[in-house]
Chain A
Amino acid sequence: MDAMHTESSCEAAAPGLDYSTWIVIPLYNEASVIAGVVSELLGQFANVVCVDDGSTDGSAQAALDAGARVLTHPLNLGQGAALQTAISYAVAQPGCEHIITFDADGQHRIIDALHMLERAREEKLDIVFGSRFLDDRTNPGILKRIVLKTAVGVTNLTTGLKLTDAHNGLRVLSAEAASRINLQQDRMAHATEIVLQLGRTRLPWGESPVEVLYTDYSKAKGQSLLNSINILFDLVVN
């Protein structure tokens, strides 16, 4: 940032709100962090939609107060279900060109999302996946690395795409790509299912490096090794 842009033109320096991109956030019991995530996003994007998946801790109100459009599931259905609802809502909005899937727990960086969006626009990619393994900013720890790399292997095996990361919640989708998604996996297996369905669209795709912020908070909520067995089972069983 050079001197000219600092003091005088604080508002003008903001590169204008993005009205054609919808941020979609599945929300479940993240009351302590969701407001921060939403208000930061609203600094760049006009449209932030949270699907509250039956939270019991006031997350929906927190997101609403922060300025997000909040949709509410009547009961807890799972992250995949919430994501699908959010996508269905967003693609139906007039003027929606891109959708960015974002996690509610504050582990993603907006700068990464902006960079991915720029790539999607410049390189005419319909799908840009975020990957924490393309640079060395993220250090997931050895156990999590093993779990994730196994998930990557399974995903690549079943989807035919060659990704370097799996279960990364940060993705940029064109409205066209997003409208072809129909997630059936209500729980965590949707992260593989979404790659599978996007792969089948044959639309141009890319992968961009992102940093995943492992706070103590997100670590405490992370996927356990045992839960990956559940994911595998959900994927194998029809």
Chain B
Amino acid sequence: MLIQIILIVALLAIAFYLIRATPSARHLAVRRMLVFLAVIGGVVVILSPGLLTSVANAVGIGRGTDLLLYGFIVAFLLYVVTDFKRSTQLSRANTQLARKLTLAEAHLQDEISRRGANPDD
């Protein structure tokens, strides 16, 4: 069935994204476009509920609600991965900030004790 291939490819793509890709402006653009498409798709499907079932049938699923569920799971996984990446980036930035602070403080202390030892400087 077509849906099996689509879902497997989607999951593999998410796994690949988790392991390899670093977040970039391009990914952000893709994510925003997906949200935009989801809104349009949502409105269309709300207006003509039969359409969802027709699409589901076309890819080998019996009911439109099932297609919706699968889509939801994939979207959720993508969200989890994206959010994980963002929090990793944030914590790295946090570490760098804390390190700069620590080193600046240490440098200051060293400078003070050096001047204390050589008051002529």
Contacts and interface: CB of A to CB of B under 8 A. Distances in A.
Dominant SS among interface residues on chain B: helix
Contacts of A85: 99, 102-103
A84 B94 CA distance: 14
A77 B95 contact: yes
B22 A88 contact: no
A118 B106 CA distance: 30
Contact of B95 (A72, A81, A89, A92): A81
Contacts of A81: 95, 98-99
Interface stretch (B13-21, B25-33, B68-76): B13-21
Which of B22, B95, B101, B105: most chain A CB closer than 10 A?
Answer: B95
B21 A238 contact: yes
Nearest to A84: B99
A75 interface: yes
Contacts of B91: 186
B115 interface: no
Contacts of A237: 18-19, 84, 88
Interface residues of A, number: 19
A73 interface: yes
A88 B20 contact: no
Nearest to A183: B95
Given A184-B92, A238-B20, A71 B103 contact: yes
A236 interface: yes
B108 to A, nearest CB: 11
A238 B15 CA distance: 11
Which 9 pairs, one residue from A and one from B, show the smallest C-beta to C-beta distance? Answer: A71-B106, A85-B99, A81-B95, A77-B95, A71-B102, A74-B98, A186-B95, A85-B102, A73-B102
17 contacts: A51-B102, A69-B106, A71-B105, A72-B102, A72-B105, A74-B101, A75-B98, A77-B94, A85-B102, A85-B103, A88-B99, A89-B103, A89-B106, A184-B92, A186-B95, A236-B19, A238-B18
